[in-house]
A and B are shown apart, each in its own frame.
Chain A
């Protein structure tokens, strides 16, 4: 917990690797902080904690402002993306072409002053094209196999049209997204924190695409939908992007502090407190997404009544990762509200982006054109009536 003298508002974190260091050394082990170590950390006095919370809110607002300079409209999508960023998750963006998906991700990288890479997924894309591979390099008369890092080694990664790659290639992201590391030829390479993946999906031109497997979908904290901009936003987009002076997002963090600042803010998010009854509420929501009669349905008491729509249209419900996503997203929202504790409203607000891609609908749902977001909204309505 050493605050940098040059940046008093920066939370105390161990010095991060230099931003943009795309050549990390492979590591065989990844010791995780234990609960004991977390408990040993000294508590923050109220003034320091309040300062950190205010810094979080201020940073969030500044990033939003910088994104808003480039991205016209889509405020809800930007908020959800930033929430996922500070919650430590990844975002799957689904939208029609030309709505600014790639622009959003690139602008975010600029605003955060983090390294940014883009991978255009195609059907012939290979895993090594993402993770990197060993190449034979001749240096000083010697030949040796050197690991050439792939584009995945970046702080912000845009996986554009991820569903156009084969499942084999898509799975190359699994380990990276979950473990923040890549294993190539028996060697594990740690990805530089923060590692933030934004993948886009094109809902049209479904021919020649490979829907993401459920395991892959589950790695994404949020799935957000990027709608068409409104008429007013459309006019502003047209006007701002067809001039000689294109707007640019100014970096919020200094170059060498960006990663540590982001990690510090992410750590602060995890310090937010959650009451037991809110954890119970989140668990009840997750349990309610699992249809009755499913062979994977858990036992125990059901805190929310089974919804007929869920039983009829859902093949598989959310995994526990959905619950994690609920609480992490809710914590970010709590901090943004100036609180250090989560409320019901925080959980409700992140329920749709956190759960909608985790509901695996059956054929009947597709036939009836059922939107999983509508199912989640029904669950939330029932929860508001019964659980509180």
Chain B
């Protein structure tokens, strides 16, 4: 009779110990998970705040640090849980200590075979069961949530508060504000610094390192193919053609600063009133660069004689094969100043183009087309080194105007497609006129094709 009672009582004790063990281990598990989760939430909160407010480099460092901290937290939590995970023996001894059972539970449970063989085992079990209320499950391992839950809740609240109250800084002015300039001046207007950066004509160069770099890549080498004639490239070509007339001969620009400063002037202008009719101006400028605008130079010299002179000077020096950066820089500097000083009128506010504008573009005079006498005639051909420049300038500007190319022949153009040699009245004695350009014969369908392509880009 004693054995069954012992077995029943022993099973009761074992069941109770199992419950205690389950509760204690669950508590340990919850505690570890809550702590690690809290740290994860805190790390996420920090990262969100940094993402909204901090710098990119600091955010990257913080992100890696937070990731490492989270991993470390989980490892630490795992170690903590494994260290505090209670075996049956530990639970038995815990219950013995907490309930003051004087190692009775350990004696009964840790070596059941020996206890079962003892003649006093029933008395031992009875003593344990007698004091059952002392080591009640709820007394030894009450249902409770770990305090780390509060930490978790706090972390969650911090995360929510961060997502609600920490706003990203005001976004920079969208580039759409500059879009009109893009359409008129070319895609590089996107890269043009903001108005405050381009407020001064001389200080505009500081805001255009990217443009300078692109100019170096395209306009710095006249032989570069137009395959990279994206919007920036086109603008660069345009600027290069405007800034340095010497590029007509395929020579490098004397000094990269010329382009930068020139672009600064253009940017400053573009920040102001956008000049309409840029196509005509560009064409005039190109014509001027080609030496076809003699009369225009005289008239335009009032406002732009520094710039035009500088452009010619630079071109002349390149012609002589003695590129000097200094004169070029000076001349472009003057040009930039002059361009900036001009009122934002339609006729005079021609950055870049206006700096070398020909009189033909002024006063609403019909501008002669560059590309022959056909309706869409235009000199196209790989044999012409000026082709990328011309195409770029035309494709970025002309289609936006939505006006067809005029068929007025240029001043110096001959009917056979060649450009007659003009000697500019402003040329110094040591300067020589540009060699006449031979305009190759281009089939109208080819020219129309090219025009359609660039028109589609716009």
Q: Is A344 a contact partner of B123 (Cβ separation < 8 A)?
A: no
Determine the chain B residues whose CB is within 8 A of the CB of A344 once the complex forms.
103
Q: Is A46 a contact partner of B117 (Cβ separation < 8 A)?
A: no
Selected A-B contacts with CB under 8 Å, 15 pairs: A42-B2, A45-B2, A46-B2, A53-B120, A53-B123, A271-B118, A272-B120, A273-B107, A273-B115, A275-B103, A277-B93, A278-B106, A340-B118, A343-B102, A344-B103
Determine the chain A residues whose CB is within 8 A of the CB of B3 once the complex forms.
43
How far in angstroms is the closest Cβ of chain A from B117? Answer: 5
How far in angstroms is the closest Cβ of chain A from B407? Answer: 106
Determine the chain B residues whose CB is within 8 A of the CB of A339 once the complex forms.
102, 104, 127
B11 at the interface (CB under 8 A from A): no
A50 at the interface (CB under 8 A from B): yes
Determine the chain A residues whose CB is within 8 A of the CB of B118 once the complex forms.
43, 271, 273, 340
A41 at the interface (CB under 8 A from B): yes
Q: Is A45 a contact partner of B102 (Cβ separation < 8 A)?
A: no
How many angstroms from the CA of A277 to the CA of B90 in the assembled complex?
11
In the complex with contacts A44-B122, A53-B123, A340-B124, A277-B102 CB distance below 8 A: no
Q: Is B104 a contact partner of A341 (Cβ separation < 8 A)?
A: yes
9 interchain residue pairs of minimum CB distance? A49-B123, A341-B107, A340-B120, A46-B126, A275-B106, A275-B107, A46-B122, A273-B107, A44-B119
Determine the chain A residues whose CB is within 8 A of the CB of B6 once the complex forms.
43
In the complex with contacts A43-B3, A43-B119, A49-B119, A341-B124 CB distance below 8 A: yes
B143 at the interface (CB under 8 A from A): no
Show the binding face of A for B, using Cβ within 8 Å. Answer: 38-39, 41-46, 49-50, 53, 271-278, 339-344
Show the binding face of B for A, using Cβ within 8 Å. Answer: 1-3, 6, 89, 93, 102-104, 106-108, 110-111, 114-115, 117-127
How many angstroms from the CA of A224 to the CA of B3 in the assembled complex?
42
Determine the chain B residues whose CB is within 8 A of the CB of A45 once the complex forms.
1-2, 122
B121: nearest chain-A partner, CB-CB: A43
Residue of B93, B102, B114, B119 most packed against chain A (CB within 10 A): B119
How many angstroms from the CA of A44 to the CA of B119 in the assembled complex?
5
Q: Is B117 a contact partner of A39 (Cβ separation < 8 A)?
A: yes
Determine the chain A residues whose CB is within 8 A of the CB of B121 once the complex forms.
43, 273
Count of inter-chain pairs, beta carbons less than 8 A: 82
Known: A43-B6, A44-B123, A341-B108. 12 other contacts (CB 8 A): A49-B122, A50-B123, A271-B118, A273-B108, A273-B114, A275-B103, A275-B111, A276-B110, A277-B103, A278-B103, A339-B104, A342-B103
Determine the chain B residues whose CB is within 8 A of the CB of A53 once the complex forms.
120, 123
How many angstroms from the CA of A278 to the CA of B103 in the assembled complex?
9
How many angstroms from the CA of A200 to the CA of B114 in the assembled complex?
38
How many angstroms from the CA of A278 to the CA of B122 in the assembled complex?
20
How far in angstroms is the closest Cβ of chain A from B101? Answer: 9
Determine the chain B residues whose CB is within 8 A of the CB of A276 once the complex forms.
106, 110-111
How many angstroms from the CA of A271 to the CA of B110 in the assembled complex?
17
Residue of A49, A50, A273 most packed against chain B (CB within 10 A): A273
How many angstroms from the CA of A271 to the CA of B118 in the assembled complex?
6
Contact of A343 among B103, B120, B124 (CB under 8 A): B103
Determine the chain A residues whose CB is within 8 A of the CB of B102 once the complex forms.
339, 341, 343
How far in angstroms is the closest Cβ of chain B from A383? Answer: 15
How many angstroms from the CA of A46 to the CA of B114 in the assembled complex?
17
A41: nearest chain-B partner, CB-CB: B119
Determine the chain A residues whose CB is within 8 A of the CB of B127 once the complex forms.
339-340
How many angstroms from the CA of A274 to the CA of B108 in the assembled complex?
9
Q: Is B2 a contact partner of A341 (Cβ separation < 8 A)?
A: no
How far in angstroms is the closest Cβ of chain A from B427? Answer: 104
Q: Is A273 a contact partner of B120 (Cβ separation < 8 A)?
A: yes
How many angstroms from the CA of A271 to the CA of B1 in the assembled complex?
20
Determine the chain A residues whose CB is within 8 A of the CB of B107 once the complex forms.
273-275, 278, 341-342
How many angstroms from the CA of A313 to the CA of B432 in the assembled complex?
115
A345: nearest chain-B partner, CB-CB: B102
Determine the chain B residues whose CB is within 8 A of the CB of A271 once the complex forms.
118-120
Determine the chain B residues whose CB is within 8 A of the CB of A341 once the complex forms.
102-104, 107-108, 124
How many angstroms from the CA of A276 to the CA of B115 in the assembled complex?
11
Determine the chain A residues whose CB is within 8 A of the CB of B124 once the complex forms.
273, 340-341
How many angstroms from the CA of A46 to the CA of B120 in the assembled complex?
7
How far in angstroms is the closest Cβ of chain B from A340? Answer: 4
